[in-house]
A = this chain, B = another copy of it.
């Protein structure tokens, strides 16, 4: 037996006990004739004491220990004279009577402390040491508990966890698949799943009624900031449900997770249509931790001789409370440059400041104070406030103003990561018209159902009608990030055929790509729908972390590379030959 207690276990009640502990030598201090050592493990830190006078050999042995040495000690639990109220074991220390080195350690490349001296690159190369830091471990412990509570809630609501296969078939639609060459069937490949979508729908056909899985998914995309080629999804599907059933069930899950993990009782989640979200926030995932809703100004600003506004499809702005005093002309100029950067792409920025000295605006020469006052009253501006206004093509302008709104929210300190504001965004468009390819794309996926009230229009309407169709598709948004999304699926053949036709599939193409699912739908598919949560993202947001990499034990970098194990890597020629493959280039 290596230990009688772990390093977080002992309390004042244990005084006098003989104990054996094991762990890592975190810090050593000398004080008079005493040597103090912080012994660390996952559960905490316990102070060890060695007395030079009483046991000089033992004390010298302790003084020779290096950082991160693995040791085992035997000793007596004693009361500390100098208690540490910030530590669970802070009332006691161990008077060590026996010390054994279990393993030595080289000097680690960075210190194993919450505030370390290691940069990200170094920490990722030595991720196993980075993971020894308490604040890094805690993110993973949180993740483990989040999975436990997710399973507890779903299993408690009759969901069955079913493992779906990882070696499946590549489909040309959607994002790119990772493929796995078959050695037995030369020239053939498995694909790694981007999601278990088709399998969960098959399980509904099978009558599983309520399915879930916490599962790894794979997407071979060009890497963007904070994307991982492998990611974890909480994947769910239910039968005999309408949208309302899904929203209630998964609002319940989300509330359960916040209650159990954060001690927060979230009130009922607000709901917003896609159209409202775009109109008021310029985004389908609005951050509603703060206001600054958009106000459209066309009717009051156009026809007064200011060409930029007169020729714009949309003039839209928001009111930044109390910001008039914070933005000098120089600051405004900088902010204008910020919205003009290619990432945002606005042409210019119009401001109106309501100050004690009067109204100031970049368009003051085109509009009277009376007119500018009217804009202010439309947008609820008072003295000290500042309007920020963009104009141009409607869709682009909303997006640009959305980015500016988030920037201002951030600058104004309105985006507290510990303030959690979930939101359902509903009624997404069913189809997106793609000008380039002159065809419709499914906004969610090709099995997403139109809203009941739109079914007639879908079956009988003209081309323009199709653009206006709304889907029973929903996203769960948290603080400006999508954490879940799903839809009610089509289970009616006529509707499915119409949808494929709209999406430009011939009957043969539909059969080739979705054959087994369409076959399955011939044998009594129940009404069904589902949702998938981005587990990495949810875990990141709930912990107020900056990046999903922080909540993944062994993440890949922005080039999809694991720098610790150095993967991907070459494989030997024999293995390639067995797969009947050759690298060409």
Chain A residues near B (Cβ < 8 Å): 1-3, 6, 22, 24, 40-43, 68-70, 102-106, 108, 126-129, 131-132, 137, 140-141, 143-144, 147-148, 151, 155, 160-170, 172, 176-192, 198-199, 202-203, 205-209, 216, 218, 220, 222-223, 229-230, 232, 240-242, 244-245, 491-492, 515-516, 519-520, 522-527, 552-554, 556, 559-562, 564-572, 575, 578-585
CA distance A129 to B569 in the complex (A): 42
CA distance A253 to B147 in the complex (A): 20
A208 near B137: Cβ-Cβ < 8 Å = yes
A536's nearest neighbour on chain B, judged by CB, is B163
- Specify which of B43, B184, B209 is in contact with A43 (CB 8 Å cutoff): B209
- Specify which of B128, B140, B206, B567 is in contact with A169 (CB 8 Å cutoff): B567
- Specify which of B202, B520, B559 is in contact with A184 (CB 8 Å cutoff): B559
- Specify which of B104, B207, B571 is in contact with A137 (CB 8 Å cutoff): B207
A567 near B208: Cβ-Cβ < 8 Å = no
A179 near B523: Cβ-Cβ < 8 Å = no
In this complex, the member of A143, A192, A244, A583 whose beta carbon has the largest number of chain B beta carbons within 10 angstroms is: A583
- Specify which of B2, B192, B208 is in contact with A180 (CB 8 Å cutoff): B192
- Could you tell me the distance in whole angstroms from the C-beta of A2 to the nearest C-beta in chain B? 4
Given A70-B524, A190-B567; A208-B178 close (CB under 8 Å): no
Which B residues lie within 8 Å of A560 (CB)?
Answer: 182, 184-185
Query: What are 27 residue pairs bridging A and B, where the CB atoms are less than 8 Å apart in the complex?
Result: A1-B242, A1-B244, A6-B209, A42-B207, A69-B524, A129-B206, A132-B207, A137-B207, A140-B160, A141-B160, A144-B160, A147-B161, A151-B151, A166-B230, A167-B229, A167-B562, A168-B565, A168-B567, A170-B575, A177-B575, A179-B181, A180-B568, A184-B559, A189-B568, A189-B571, A190-B568, A580-B584
Given A106-B522, A155-B148, A167-B229; A178-B179 close (CB under 8 Å): no
Which B residues lie within 8 Å of A491 (CB)?
Answer: 102-103
- Could you tell me the distance in whole angstroms from the C-beta of A160 to the nearest C-beta in chain B? 5
Given A2-B242, A206-B137, A240-B3; A562-B129 close (CB under 8 Å): no
- Could you tell me the distance in whole angstroms from the C-beta of A336 to the nearest C-beta in chain B? 37
- Could you tell me the distance in whole angstroms from the C-beta of A343 to the nearest C-beta in chain B? 23
Which B residues lie within 8 Å of A189 (CB)?
Answer: 568-571
Given A144-B161, A183-B220, A583-B581; A520-B128 close (CB under 8 Å): yes
CA distance A565 to B196 in the complex (A): 13
B187 near A583: Cβ-Cβ < 8 Å = yes
Enumerate the 6 nearest inter-chain pairs by beta-carbon distance, A residue then B residue, closest first: A105-B524, A131-B206, A169-B567, A188-B568, A2-B240, A68-B524
CA distance A198 to B128 in the complex (A): 11
Which B residues lie within 8 Å of A126 (CB)?
Answer: 519, 523
B182 near A162: Cβ-Cβ < 8 Å = no
CA distance A520 to B187 in the complex (A): 39
CA distance A241 to B579 in the complex (A): 42
CA distance A198 to B554 in the complex (A): 12
A206 near B579: Cβ-Cβ < 8 Å = no
B106 near A179: Cβ-Cβ < 8 Å = no
Which B residues lie within 8 Å of A170 (CB)?
Answer: 569, 571, 575
Which B residues lie within 8 Å of A144 (CB)?
Answer: 155, 160-162
Which B residues lie within 8 Å of A580 (CB)?
Answer: 583-585
Given A178-B180, A179-B180, A581-B581; A203-B131 close (CB under 8 Å): yes
- Could you tell me the distance in whole angstroms from the C-beta of A27 to the nearest C-beta in chain B? 14
CA distance A553 to B213 in the complex (A): 13
Which B residues lie within 8 Å of A190 (CB)?
Answer: 178, 567-568
CA distance A544 to B171 in the complex (A): 37
Which B residues lie within 8 Å of A230 (CB)?
Answer: 165-167
Which B residues lie within 8 Å of A3 (CB)?
Answer: 240
Which B residues lie within 8 Å of A206 (CB)?
Answer: 128-129, 131-132, 137
CA distance A373 to B527 in the complex (A): 74
Which B residues lie within 8 Å of A155 (CB)?
Answer: 144, 148
Given A569-B170, A581-B583; A208-B42 close (CB under 8 Å): yes
- Could you tell me the distance in whole angstroms from the C-beta of A217 to the nearest C-beta in chain B? 10
A526's nearest neighbour on chain B, judged by CB, is B70
B516 near A162: Cβ-Cβ < 8 Å = no
CA distance A102 to B166 in the complex (A): 32
B216 near A523: Cβ-Cβ < 8 Å = no
A218 near B166: Cβ-Cβ < 8 Å = yes
CA distance A160 to B148 in the complex (A): 10
A526 near B22: Cβ-Cβ < 8 Å = yes
Which B residues lie within 8 Å of A242 (CB)?
Answer: 1-2
A161's nearest neighbour on chain B, judged by CB, is B144
B128 near A202: Cβ-Cβ < 8 Å = yes
- Could you tell me the distance in whole angstroms from the C-beta of A356 to the nearest C-beta in chain B? 57
- Could you tell me the distance in whole angstroms from the C-beta of A209 to the nearest C-beta in chain B? 4
Which B residues lie within 8 Å of A492 (CB)?
Answer: 103
CA distance A180 to B193 in the complex (A): 13
